[in-house]
Structure 1
Amino acid sequence: MKQNIFGFRLKAASAVAALLFAAQAAWAIDPFTLADIRVEGLQRVEPGTVFASLPFRVGDNYNDEKGAGAIRSLFALGLFKDVRLEARGNVLTVIVEERPTVAGIDFAGAKEFDKDTLKKAMRDIGLTEGRPFDKALADRAEQELKRQYVNRSLYGAEIVTTVTPIERNRVNLTFTVSEGEPARIKDIRITGAKAFSEGTLKGLFDLDTGGWLSWYTKSDRYARAKLNADLETLRSYYLQRGYMEFRVDSTQVAISPNKQDISVTINVTEGQRYVVSGVKLEGNYLGREEEFKSLVKIVPGEPYNSEQVAQTTKAFTDHFGAFGFAFARVEPVPDIDRANNRVALVLQAEPSRRAYVRRISVAGNNRTRDEVVRREFRQFESSWFNGDKIKLSRDRIDRLGYFSSVDIETQDVAGSPDQVDVVVNLVEKPTGSLSLGAGFSSAEKVALTFGIKQENVFGTGNYLGIDVNTSKYNRAIVLSTTNPYFTPDGISRTIDLYTRSSRPYQDQGGNYRLLTSGASMRFGVPFSELDTVFFGAGAERTEIKPGTNIPASYLSYAEQVGYVSYSVPLTVGWARDSRDSALSPSSGRYQRFNSELGVAGDARYVRGNYQFQQYYPITKKYTLALNSELGAGKGLNGLPFPIFKNFYSGGLGSVRGFEQGTLGPRDVTGASVGGAKKITLNAEVSAPFPGAGNDRTLRIFGFTDVGNVYGENQRFDFGEMRASVGLGLSWVSPVGPLRIAIANPVRKEPGDRIQKFQFQIGSSF
């Protein structure tokens, strides 16, 4: 029996070997000279693509080795699923079968991501409309989609790919997603911490075990990137408090069998706490040791602070850069005395070589003209490299608002050790907007708005916009255009055309109005890199349109000056803004001053307004904000101060708890008419909303407001100031900043109009 089986196997092996030998003999051909090359089976691929991939041409000698190389080259293109070569005489025919192309990509059941985001992820791996379809590429697409969902803690997401063939050798791809429920963090543990409580350390994290606002913040959804960021926050917390040998030993992330619950365990070693015993400078400091010493942020006698060390080394590097040393190296070397828990820091500096800037290149500005970017540069070609000017140039380009990303890198010039090229890498963003919307506030009720704005017209850097407002109390149409470089020196020019219809906020059912129309032109002169002074002039026509319940003060002004008055106001202003954010600032300062002088016409007056804001970061979570605003106006040439130029106070933006615009003088009808003088003082302490983690877009704040408005002939009387305290909520919503305040007036007078609950979209303080 065994012999029969062995004999059968031997015969079978001999038959297979004979078949392979016969096939090889049939495939092998004798070399010949190519008289012609033909291609069959092409549908979309150009013949030139095939001919360019062949390792031979007409007139070349053809053999089996070259044929095998041709097949490999054509398959490597990824365009064909089958390739054959046939030789008839001295003519070679290349027969191909193209892969189907992707006609469309769709996603069914995807709710966590919008389709554009998922399509971009597909493009990143090479799967997009018009590309050849490859089953391996579809498998990669499934894995990429799963990775996207895992990043959102949707570990149970399942994806099914459906390939639907359609005409002309094309296919439609449909990814059907079953997202499931997101996995949520149920427990976070920090082991090895002794100096600080576990609750204190977990309070530093953006990740948490969730709260009643987790549906908004998603802080209980695990993501590796978020955990890494929290670990860096933890490390920085220790390193800034003297624990210079602190380390994170390991992290364990465990997920439950049902893929719904996640536990995170962080193991740390704190080490000893060290106090700085001294700071010493070593190396080449260009003979400017005293200048560098003044930049040292490290304080002997205090616990080691890694942030102070980083600030010092950066300040040193930047200062070297100001003298052209683009390759300077500053290394802090600690001399640790473990017996006494003290550390001495030695700052070793090597300025290396001085460098010139050979060329400045701008990349990524497909729409914006080069000159718009280059005119913001303070570093010039063929001059010494200056780190301060490079940073200033980057900030100026970023402040243009035309780019979502501005990065500046320096590149060595091959063969020229003392030269560098500076490359500005830009990512443009849309700068035009068409808006149609509605706003609502407790004072204004419904306000419809329409606007067309283009901040970078045709890539020139010029601004053009039209705004329409239809609120209950203030209606306006404004056309504005700005040329930021009206002169080569950076003097800007703004032209405004406007028509407005307004009345005091306190509505008593009257239909009187103030109608104002005019035009103005102003110039902005940059006196320094941070300060801009504005000069301008305009012409205005103001009409007091009588109606029911018109305030007596309006009638009195009309009797003296007339119902229609003309004025030629000259304006002078100044602004400086160093806040870290315009919507949700936590540090920095904002100042502005505007003055107006009526020099001709029926209305002769002077009017000035100054605002000062200061933001202090108390901790990572808490911010103190202070605001003050002073305004004053006076009539000239024996004329009264124009009633339509009055200041108003009360409500959001001034003294909360009182009805909008009701503080200050009133006439005999009881209407609040504002005044020629104004003072407002505000203080706020803001913190993350409970349950929102460290999210800065949703915050609560406590506040104290003080202020009032006075008539032209009244003196500032602090005894008549109104005051309130309260709590509020701020939310940077998709339609703009929303602020809600509940205030309790603590200093009021009989007759004051109280409004404890107020809200508004768009108020900044």
Structure 2
Amino acid sequence: MVRAFVLICLMMFAISTRAELEVNIEPANSRVKANIEAFVGPVQASSRREMWRLARPSIAQAERAAQALGYYQTRIRPQVTGPNNAPTLVLNVTLGEPVRLRNVDIRIEGPGQGTDAFALTTPGRRLRTGAILHHGYYEDLKTLISNQALRYGYFSGRFTEHRMLIDIENNQADITLVYHTGERFRLGEVVFSETPFNENLLQRMVPFRTGVPYDADLIAGLNRDLLSSGFFESVQVSAPANRADEDGLIPVDVQLQARKKHSLGFGAGFSTDVGPRARANWTQHWLNAKGHSRGAELEVSSPRQKLSAWYQIPLTPPQSSALRFFTGWQNENIDDTESEAFTIGAQYQKRLRSGWERVIGLRLEQERFSLGNESGDSTLLIPSISFQRTTSTGGVDPSQGYSLLLDVQGAKEGIVSDFDFVRANASAKGLYTLWDNHRFLSRVNLGGIASNSFRRVPPSLRFFAGGDQSVRGYDYRTLSPTDSSGERIGGRFLLASSVEYQYEFIDRWRAAVFIDHGNAMDSLTDPRKTSAGLGVRWVSPVGPIRIDLARSISDPDEGFRIHFSMGPEL
């Protein structure tokens, strides 16, 4: 009963009461006051006489609420005030000296003693000698010890002693809490339900070996990894302790439902960068028992048409590493630039333990292009490596997070390639929300190319700035060095940055102000452009939709430009 009472008090600790109850504490103690108000709750009566009848049980409840926080020497004097048809019960509470802890004996015994599993159960200042008795802290510690034992597989653990002795006359209390852990259970063989995949592929997804000490995080991790592999519609992993054998090995049971083999997707959108666009993709999520997969994608817009296909082989572990072969064709015609490129290659993808996605690639790229007054073609064998990491909280509409990307690629003249080059590109985005409806976003993108023959570098590798995702206030890819005839030909370097503030004035609707700065340049000393603007954001079910009105500060003659885009902010 005492435990249930304490839990109820703590759960209701911060709940406000109605005006029918007023609690005065002497000396002032906000925690005791809040606990009494929460536990007594609203006291409603149709007359002063009825309110007086409710005073006695209310006093008893108030005394128990004060005792839960260590105050056993309380005096409570009730009053009833207010009109007869709307009376208020006033409890004037005088707190005596609190009960303080005298002897505190908290011990972990057995094989789990001194292990990391029970390192968090140290009571600290809350339950040390001289601290004010708090029933909730005592119950919290018992719950924490029990939970740690369950998480780390000490299923036979139990409290051999758990008592609290209170000397009310001397305002002292003794606590004895002894937990014997018993032996730690271990995880046994992982058994999978029937699936279209072979046993070798499934076992390679298991992140632990048979006989490893039980840890609930390992079970949750296996469940998460199997879902993230993309092979399964549903996953259920269980390791019930009652199925352990005499050696303490618990078999791990995995129930799997394979996802449908094929998926077909269609999409359409619009942005001021490329205008209307349409996309179609087909994916065969698995085509054999080894978990191989393949897919194709078509993207069409006025300035760009793209067709690509890929074939992927899972490696070890299959859920986080793969070898992908790909090929693609792209035709692009944007203002002063025309290009047609064909690509074929492979890349090794791996999600590192640190959370970074690493991609090592090698591709053969042939591109014919017209750039300003010049035209040409290039053949390049390009090794590359990239690292990317995105962390966010909030799903489709995150409240905070960041995204980092580093990409380096290059080619060596004479090794299939027509010329030397090294290209590096790095970007960072950050999002932070303050007080629920104040959002701050920032981004920066830096890039550079080193080459012994920059004029032969195709437009797909050069840098351009301007547009929805770059420097707003300028049209898409209109910030760039120009040739002798004034046509834009792309730059060796890129700098693009932005700072934005959003305010949510209605649920899922936000107003924004921003400043963008940057340019695509042939020299880092070349001038950069600055623009500013206002915008509106609507958080749709598929992600934010953005409309911006921006104007260049550097070139006022550019006038205002409207930018429309959609997609994630990180």
Matched, 1:578 2:391: yes
Percent identity between matched residues is 15
Q: CA deviation at 1:543?
A: 0.6
Which amino acid in the other structure matches residue 724 of structure 1? A
Q: Residue 470 of structure 2 aligns with which residue?
A: 654
The structure whose Rg is larger is 1
Partner of residue 205, structure 2: 376
Q: Distance in 1 between matches of 2:385 and 2:287?
A: 27
CA distance in 2, matches of 1:644, 1:519: 15
**Structure 1 CA distance for aligned equivalents of residues 315 and 386 of structure 2:** 18
- Alpha-carbon distance change, 729 to 288 in structure 1, aligned in 2, over 3 angstroms: same
The offset of 1:333, in angstroms, is 11
Indicate how the Cα distance of structure 1 residues 568 and 536 shifts in structure 2: closer, same or farther if over 3 A, else same.
Answer: same
Question: Map of 1:542-621 to 2, 5 A cutoff?
Answer: 542-545=367-370, 551-552=372-373, 555=374, 558=375, 563-580=376-393, 583-600=396-413, 601-616=417-432, 618=434, 621=436
| Structure 1 residues not aligned, in runs of 5+ | 1-189, 195-237, 251-268, 693-697
Q: Map Cα deviations across residues 13-51 of structure 1 (whole Å, 9 max, x no partner).
A: xxxxxxxxxxxxxxxxxxxxxxxxxxxxxxxxxxxxxxx
In the alignment, structure 1 residue 389 sits paired with structure 2 residue 218: yes
Deviation (angstroms), 1:759: 1.7
Which residue number corresponds to residue 547 of structure 2? Answer: 741
Partner of 1:476: 306
Q: Give the Cα separation in 1 of the matches to 2:505 and 2:258.
A: 34
Contact 2:17–2:38 (8 Å) recurs in 1: no
Matches within 5 A, 1:145-160: none
Q: How does 1:16-31 map to 2 (within 5 A)?
A: none
| Shift in alpha-carbon separation, 1:622–1:421, aligned structure 2, 3 A | farther
1:272-671 → structure 2 map (5 Å cutoff): 282-284=106-108, 286-288=112-114, 317=147, 321=151, 325=154, 351-363=181-193, 366-367=195-196, 371-411=200-240, 412-413=242-243, 416=246, 418-430=248-260, 432-458=262-288, 460-485=290-315, 491-504=321-334, 507=335, 513-528=338-353, 530-545=355-370, 551-552=372-373, 555=374, 558=375, 563-580=376-393, 583-600=396-413, 601-616=417-432, 618=434, 621-622=436-437, 624=439, 626-640=441-455, 641-671=457-487
> Quick one: which amino acid aligns to residue 760 of structure 1?
S
Asked whether the 8 Å contact 1:662–1:753 carries over to 2, the reply is no
Q: Is the 8 A contact 2:481 2:489 kept in 1?
A: yes
Q: Quick one: which amino acid aligns to residue 355 of structure 1?
A: F
SS of the equivalent of 1:576 reads strand
Say whether residues 1:727 and 2:535 are aligned partners: yes
Contact 1:408–1:425 (8 Å) recurs in 2: yes
CA distance in 1, matches of 2:200, 2:277: 40
In 2, Cα distance between equivalents of 1:315 and 1:537 = 53
After TM superposition, the score normalised by the length of structure 1 is 0.52
Give how far 1:405 is off: 4.3
Check conservation: 2:462, 2:491, Cα contact below 8 A.
Answer: yes
Contact residue 187 and residue 212 of structure 2 kept, 8 A: yes
After superposition, residues 175-186 of structure 1 pair within 5 angstroms as: none
Q: In structure 1, how many angstroms separate the alpha carbons of the residues matched to 2:412 and 2:230?
A: 36
Change (3 A) 1:415 1:713: closer
2:398 is paired with a residue of what secondary structure? coil
Q: How many residues align?
A: 473
Higher strand share: 2
Q: Would the aligned equivalents of 1:313 and 1:332 in 2 still touch at CA under 8 Å?
A: no
Q: Would you say 1:711 and 2:557 are equivalent positions?
A: no
Contact kept? 1:284, 1:351, Cα under 8 Å: yes
Q: Give the direction of change, closer, same or farther, for the CA distance of 1:376–1:489 in structure 2 (3 Å limit).
A: closer
Shift of 1:723: 4.1
Aligned with 1:397: secondary structure?
A: helix
Q: Which amino acid is the alignment partner of residue 330 of structure 2? A: R
Quote the residue 1:700 is aligned against: 510
Give the deviation of 1:478 after TM superposition.
Answer: 0.5
Could you tell me whether the CA contact under 8 Å between 1:319 and 1:387 is conserved in 2? no
RMSD: 4.9
Note if contact 1:533-1:574 (Cα within 8 Å) is conserved in structure 2: yes
C-alpha distance after superposition, 1:387-409 (max 9, x if no partner):
34333323322322444544432
CA shift for structure 1 position 661: 2.6
